Amino acid sequence: MKKALCLAAAIAVTGPAVAQEAITYQFEGSYEDATFAVENAIIDRGLVIDYVSHVGDMLARTGPDLGSDVEIFEQAQIFIFCSASASRRAMEADWLNIVHCPYGIFVAQVDGEVIVGHRAYPDGPMQEVEAVLDAIILEARGS
Q: Considering the domain boundaries, does residue 112 fall inside one?
A: yes
Identify the helix (H) or strand (E) that includes residue 115.
Answer: strand 113-119
Tell whether 53 is covered by a domain. yes
Which pTM does this prediction carry?
0.84
Segment 76-94, tens digit of pLDDT: 999 999 999 999 999 999 9
Q: What's the DSSP call for residue 26?
A: E
Higher-confidence residue of 6 and 40: namely 40
Whether the predicted pLDDT of 24 surpasses 50? yes
Asked if residue 35 belongs to a domain, the reply is yes
Q: Tell whether omega for the bond before 122 is within 30 degrees of 0, i.e. cis.
A: no
Residue 85 included in any domain: yes
Partners of 107 in the β-ladder: 77, 116
Letter string b/e over residues 23-40, b meaning 16 or more CB atoms within 10 A of that residue's CB: bbbbbeeebeebbebbbe
- What is the domain-level CATH number for residue 75? 3.30.310.70
Number of separate domains in the chain: 1
80 touches 42 (CB < 8 A): no
Q: Which residue range(s) make up the domain with 65?
A: 17-141
Residue 9 lies in a domain: no
Radius of gyration of the chain (CA): 16
- Interior angle at CA 128, CA 126 and CA 129, nearest 5: 65
Chain mean position to CA 83:
15
Instruction: Establish if 3 belongs to a structural domain.
Output: no
